[in-house]
């Protein structure tokens, strides 16, 4: 996995290009920012949130608060920080949990997408597993699914007729999976572009 390789070397791949006939890959890299020191004593989830939010802001990580909230909520077994019981946020984290927070937040510090860090993401009413090189569905894709559903449901006779949808260049499969969940009578053909 290229993320693991680039993290272990202290460099981050910004893009890869093929050069020449032999297809040698050339990497454009950027040094990884350093993480704050692991606390000597025990800390709470709220304290970890504060430490990492400030550090993300200092290092220019986009959506600093959003990033650390999702990571810590994930480690506490929840989807969002709002769904975590308030008392759990003020309890001390175990050394193992603190280490996991530092490990995952350090990945975010290297600009790894949040979806790859927590290895899942919600799309409409589905939770999709996310790992590189799977494409991360965009919010606009959810709007596209809504438009397709509205269009397919406009014709009342169409619901009973056998329909087939074709998804070309499927990334994560979010479109087909979401439509299939809403319209189980529709068949789907998915083509995947394999450029990895």
How high is the pLDDT of residue 156?
66
55-89 pLDDT, tens digit per residue, is: 999 999 999 999 999 999 999 999 999 999 999 99
How high is the pLDDT of residue 3?
42
In this prediction, the residues of the chain whose per-residue pLDDT falls under 70 are 1-33, 156-161, 193-196
Asked if residue 57 has a cis previous peptide bond (ω within 30° of 0), the answer is no
How high is the pLDDT of residue 33?
65
How high is the pLDDT of residue 49?
95
How high is the pLDDT of residue 13?
40
Q: Which residue has tokens 């692991």?
A: 38
Closest CA to 14 of 101, 111, 102: 111
How high is the pLDDT of residue 105?
95
How high is the pLDDT of residue 37?
82
Closest CA to 134 of 171, 105, 101, 91: 171
- The alpha carbon of 93 is separated from its chain's Cα centroid by a whole number of angstroms, namely 24
Query: Rounded to an integer, what distance in angstroms lies between the CA atom of residue 105 and that of residue 42?
Result: 17
Pairing of strands 187-192, 164-170: parallel
């Amino acid at each position: 996995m290229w993320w693991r390789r680039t993290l272990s070397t202290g460099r981050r791949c910004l893009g890869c290009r093929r050069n020449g006939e032999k297809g040698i890959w050339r990497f454009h890299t950027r040094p990884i920012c350093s993480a704050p020191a692991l606390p000597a004593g025990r800390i709470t989830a709220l304290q970890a949130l504060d430490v990492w939010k400030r550090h993300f802001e200092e290092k220019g990580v986009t959506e600093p608060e959003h990033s650390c909230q999702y990571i810590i909520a994930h480690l506490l077994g929840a989807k969002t920080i709002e769904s975590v019981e308030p008392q759990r946020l003020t309890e001390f984290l175990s050394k193992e949990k603190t280490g996991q927070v530092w490990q995952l937040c350090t990945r975010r510090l290297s600009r790894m997408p949040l979806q790859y860090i927590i290895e899942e993401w919600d799309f409409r009413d589905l939770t999709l597993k996310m790992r590189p090189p799977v494409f991360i569905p965009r919010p606009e894709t959810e709007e596209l699914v809504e438009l397709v559903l509205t269009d397919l449901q406009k014709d009342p006779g169409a619901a009973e007729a056998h329909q087939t949808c074709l998804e070309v260049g499927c990334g994560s499969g979010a479109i087909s999976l979401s439509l299939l969940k809403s319209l189980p009578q529709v068949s789907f053909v998915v083509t995947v572009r394999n450029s990895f």
